Structure formats: structure tokens, C-alpha cells
Amino acid sequence: MKDPVAPDGADHRTRVGRERRERTEARILESAMQVFAEKGPDAPLIDDFVRAAGIARGTFYNYYRSTGELLEAVSHILEDDLIASIVLELETITDPLVRLATGLRLWMAKAESDPAWCSFIVRVRRRAGAVERELGRDLHDAMKSGQVKAPSLALARDLAVGTILEAMGRMTEERVPRSYSGDVVAVILRGLGVDARSIRALLARPLAPARRPTRALAR
């Protein structure tokens, strides 16, 4: 005799199991971000993640085979999150210099509003591929239009990325004044040969508020 409740019960069990799996994975990812932020990309052992997430060692291996795989997963989540924070906001802007300045401002706003992300990026130096590609394209276009003057695209990127990473490092270690993020963008633009009046105008443009912290944390 068929049990009419069984299919529903199975569905229910499947759904509960899936939800539990997702919660556990989110917990691993969330605590892993902090472990990597503290210990760097290479030093942590699986036990560090197991302890931080409060799970059994065997459970860890149901989700990830190695610390390297976990680092990849955390990096991907954070990259998706950054794409949502920055790349999508830029979609409607066409002027290369406005795109560039807005992208830099959004990056700094993200660093300010999400200290866990900021520490992870600073410590792991696993960089934000999609966002840096976008930055490279905007720099290239702004150089082509003559709005940015730099000896080479490579150097323009080193100036922008290097200054931002160093400023993010400072933000993980000490309180910076409220004006810091804007000032960082201003000195980068000055280094890129943008004149003072344009810099003031660019920084005066309204900026979409920073999105909430990473997806893993928001689950």
C-alpha cells in the first residue's frame, strides 16, 4: 500500500536538508573570510576553518576538498558581490572619466562600509578581476579621450590600484577621517593628470549608497 504522505514528506525532508546545507555552507564561507583576513591566503589549516565555523572536521569535506578550494569559493562570492556594488552601478554612465571617478569612489565606499571585505582583500591580495578589468577599460578610454594623461596604461593602473590598496590597509589598522575616501580618489585623479576643477566636479556628483555586506553574510 502506498503511503500518500511519503512524497510530501520526502519533499519536505529534501527541502529542509537543502536549507541546512546552504546555512552550513554560508557559515563556513562567512567564517572563512575572517580566517583568511587574519592569517592570509596560505597559512590557514583546515582545522582553523572547522573551529571558526563550529563544525565537525568531516562536515568540512562535504563542502570543500581543500583550503585552496575554499579560498576560491570565498573569492568568487566576494567578486560577485563587488560586481553588484560597482560594475552594475556604472552601467548607465558613458563618459570615461566620470565612469573612472565613480568606480574609484564606489570601491572606496565599499571598503568603508564592509570592513570584513576590506580586510580580506588587503590580507589575501586576491584581487577583484572583474572590477579591475572594468577599471582598466575606463582608464584606457579616458586616456584615449585625453581626459587622463599617464605615461602608460600599466602605470595608470599601478597608481590607482596601489594607492587604493594601501589606503584600504590603513583603514583596517586605524580610524581615518570621514574625508579619506574622497581624498584618496582626488589624489589618484591628480596623479592621472586630471585638473583640480574637474576633480572637484567629479567628487561633487551624487553617489549611490554602498550596498549591504557580502552575499554570504546576508543569507
218's grid cell: 546576508
Window of 29-37, 68-76, 78-86, 158-166 that interacts with a second copy by CB under 8 A: 158-166
Could you give phi then psi for residue 95, rounded to 5 degrees?
-60, 125
Range list of β-strands (E), 94-185: none
The smaller minimum CB distance to a second copy, of residues 84 and 176, is found at 176
| Nearest CA among 183, 139, 133 for reference residue 159 | 139
Binders of a second copy among residues 21 to 40 (CB under 8 A) are 39-40
Quick check: 68 binds a second copy (CB under 8 A)? no
Window contacting a second copy (CB under 8 A); options: 75-83, 88-96, 102-110, 171-179: 171-179
Q: Which is nearer to a second copy, 181 or 214 (CB)?
A: 181
Please, which residue, 29 or 156, has the CB nearer to a second copy?
156
Q: Of the candidates 8, 65, 48, 75, which has an alpha carbon nearest to the alpha carbon of residue 214?
A: 75
Q: Which of 166, 200, 208, 212 binds a second copy (CB under 8 A)?
A: 166
CB of 143 closer than 8 Å to CB of 153: yes
C-alpha cell at 86: 560597482
Nearer Cβ to a second copy, position 40 or 54?
A: 40
Binding residue for a second copy, selected from 28, 78, 82, 184, defined by CB under 8 A:
184
Instruction: Count Cβ atoms below 10 Å from residue 153 Cβ, excluding itself.
Output: 15
C-alpha to C-alpha distances, 80 to 64, 154, 183, 188, nearest whole angstrom: 19, 25, 27, 25
Say whether residue 158 binds a second copy (CB under 8 A). Answer: yes
Answer yes or no whether residue 159 interacts with a second copy by CB under 8 A.
yes
Cβ distance to a second copy smaller for residue 193 or 213: 193
Q: What b/e readout covers 77-94, taking b as 16+ CB neighbours within 10 angstroms?
A: bbbebbbebbbebbeebe
Task: Choose the binding region for a second copy from 10-18, 134-142, 159-167, 205-213 (rule: CB under 8 A).
Answer: 159-167
> How many residues sit close enough to a second copy to count as binding (CB under 8 A)?
35
Distance of CA 16 to the CA centre of its chain: 30
Rounded to 10°, the helix 196-204/96-113 angle is: 60
Min CB(139)–a second copy separation in Å = 12
Residues that bind a second copy (CB under 8 A): 39-43, 150-152, 154-159, 161-167, 170, 176-177, 179-180, 183-184, 186-188, 190-193
